[in-house]
Amino acid sequence: MGFLKFKNSYRFKKAKFYTWLLKKDLGSIGKNSVIYPPFHSGNISEVNIGSDCSINAGSWIECIKKYGDVEYDDVRIDIGDSTYIGHRAHIIACSNIQIGKNVVFADGVYVTDNLHGFKDIHKPVFAQPLVCPGTVIIEDEVWLGESVCVLPNVTIGKHSVIGSNSVVTKSIPAYSIAVGSPAKVIKSYNFDTQQWEQV
């Protein structure tokens, strides 16, 4: 066995053990799902991961239950079956983030349903409560390119593609390709011609 094969096999086995150690802290995790270390979180008891998922190294996934004096009820992150989360993903909820099945996150993707309060200019940002504008839904088969940011209160429809480095500030319909900051739809799938067409 070459060194690379040995290294990758060792890495996988270590991740399986690491995932097993995390199991009690998680809301739930399905069969064959793996979380690769290092993994960062303060609370994952409302994080539910389906089966056959990979959460790659350097990710930070967290349900915020309390920030300062404010408690956040009904916080939840769901990740559907066969979803691939790339390295250094940051997924952080104080209300609800739903990620569907067969979703692909490239590396460095950020998904949030909240933002720091900043409106009071007499208090530092960290001293202000978080603002939770609304749920994020990423439907089945979506592909988020490298370093995509998904901001609060948006839905990305089924089988849509978000180009690398895009910032999603508004909902994207199903079967669309969107790019840029803010992300705008440039193509959508035409079911009559069975082609992706420019809009």
| Binding of residue 182 to ligand COA (CB under 6 A) | no
Q: Choose between 52 and 107: whose C-beta lies nearer to ligand COA.
A: 107
Would you mind telling me the total number of residues written for the chain in this entry? Answer: 199
| Binding of residue 106 to ligand COA (CB under 6 A) | yes
DSSP secondary-structure letter at 36?
P
| Binding of residue 43 to ligand COA (CB under 6 A) | no
Q: Choose between 91 and 161: whose C-beta lies nearer to ligand COA.
A: 161
Residue nearest to ligand COA (CB): 163
Query: Does residue 90 have an active-site annotation?
Result: no
Shortest distance in whole angstroms from residue 38 CB to ligand COA: 21
Give the SS3 label for residue 13. Answer: helix
DSSP secondary-structure letter at 24?
T
Q: Choose between 106 and 156: whose C-beta lies nearer to ligand COA.
A: 106
Residue 75: beta bridge partners? Answer: none
Instruction: Residue 61: name the closest of 24, 81, 84, 35 by CA.
Output: 35
Shortest distance in whole angstroms from residue 181 CB to ligand COA: 8
| Binding of residue 180 to ligand COA (CB under 6 A) | yes
Is residue 164 within 8 Å of residue 146, measured between CB atoms?
yes
Token look-up 């959508």 returns 188
Kindly calculate the radius of gyration of the chain based on its CA atoms and give it in whole angstroms: 18
User: What does the binding site for ligand COA look like in residue numbers (CB under 6 A)?
Assistant: 104, 106, 145-146, 161, 163-166, 177, 179-180, 186-187
